[in-house]
Amino acid sequence: MKDKQIKVLLIEDNPADVRLIQEMLAEKSSEGFNLVYTDKLQTGMEHLANGDIDVVLLDLGLPDSQGLDTFVKVHTQAAEVPIVVFTELDDGKIGLEAVKMGAQDYLVKGDVSGNSLIPAIRYAIERKQAEEKIKSSLREKEVLLREIHHRVKNNMQIISSLLNLQSKNIKDGQALDMLRSIQNRVKSMTLIHERLYQSKDFARVSFAEYVQILTSHLFGSYGIDPKAIKLNINIKNVLLDINTAIPCSLIINELVSNSLKHAFPDGKKGEIKIAMHPLNEKEIDLAVSDNGIGLPERVDFRETESLGLHLVRLLAENQLHGDIKLNRKKGTSFQIRLKVKR
């Protein structure tokens, strides 16, 4: 930075303060400062539009703008340029707010000398450069994460397509049903990665939106008329990380699939409910229920040979470290208390 002349834009309407800053910078002429100044915000904005300013020294009280609104206008015009607020307002609250909004420093005129102003300018530029490097690194990671989720989603979609092609050569009904179950499990995981790469947040899934898409797919997969079997989803403001979202998605896939296949025989009408809400900072309650014919008393979901229910138990207890309970009154209701990461 010392090899390059630093172009400083001073936006200040007090001639005495302009002269003072000129003298402070002139004392350090070897540092290589090129000072440009104006007494109005509008003119300062025009200088910024040229794109050759390295740092801004900004007074908050100008003829055409007052207070933090002055900072906001400059920061909006040139967010990439570091701004040092240089004002006579010795107000800690205003200073803190300015820094929160993006100012690199907040200097009170009466407390500043050449020995403090020069380092403030240099540190402001260095901090801004460091911020840009961090932002650039984060953008690169975001692009990488988006690409990873996109590729995983595409690979799973290929698997699903291969299973679909294979199913056309299978005549046995039981084998076809097993293949469809596998496809739906793959689809449930595919949708997670699809939601992640389409989202601004690559770490967490908005689970309400996801469940709506998943269940819509399941209804279509089993040819269910949504007028005959109603779906009630009660999930609000639940964001799950991928390590929690995938096992939850598989659990919901299995339980809803079981309800669609077995709970409403011979065209029986009914309702499926899915509810999820936080219990505390570390636990979430997930309930999937239907008002169908119910799970037979002879069936122990912990010992059953059914792959779907066996998978539900393993995911709930081993993957999510949760507790699972079955209620057979008025249909079938599974309630899972699971642990999540915040």
- Whether residue 217 sits in one domain with residue 107: no
User: Is residue 149 left, alpha or beta, with left meaning phi > 0 and alpha meaning psi from -120 to 50?
Assistant: alpha
Predicted confidence at residue 290, as pLDDT, reads 93
CATH code of 265's domain: 3.30.565.10
- Choosing from 112, 147, 174, the residue where a domain stops is 112
Report if residue 247 sits inside a domain.
yes
Q: What is the pLDDT of residues 316-328, one digit of tens each?
A: 888 888 889 989 8
Residue 316 lies in a domain: yes
- Domain membership of residue 320 (yes or no) is yes
pLDDT of residue 143: 67
Domain finish residue from 112, 136, 162: 112
Same domain for 97 and 213, yes or no, is no
Mean pLDDT of 190-196: 74
How does pLDDT run across 113-128, given as a tens digit for each residue?
Answer: 667 777 888 888 887 8
Task: Give the count of domains, the chain.
Answer: 2
pLDDT digits (tens, 9 = 90+) for 209-240: 888 888 988 898 888 888 899 999 999 888 88
Do the domain assignments include residue 133?
no
Tell whether 104 and 208 lie within a shared domain. no
Query: Which CATH number goes with the domain that contains 103?
Result: 3.40.50.2300
Residue of 140 and 14 predicted with greater confidence:
14
**Domain extent at residue 294:** 203-342
Q: Does a structural domain hold residue 141?
A: no
Are residue 99 and residue 211 in the same domain, yes or no?
Answer: no
Do 212 and 337 lie in a common domain? yes
Query: For 39-85, how does the pLDDT look when each residue is reduced to its tens digit (9 = 90+)?
Result: 999 988 988 888 788 888 888 888 888 888 888 898 888 888 888 88
User: Which tokens sit at 245?
Assistant: 């979202």
171 assigned to some structural domain: no
Pairing of strands 270-278, 323-327: unpaired
Q: Which two tokens stand for residue 186?
A: 């793959």
pLDDT for res 145: 63
Pair 336, 212 in one domain: yes
End-of-domain residue from the set 71, 86, 112: 112
Q: What is the DSSP string of 222-243?
A: TT--TTTEEEEEEE-S-EEEHH
Q: Is 149 within the bounds of a domain?
A: no
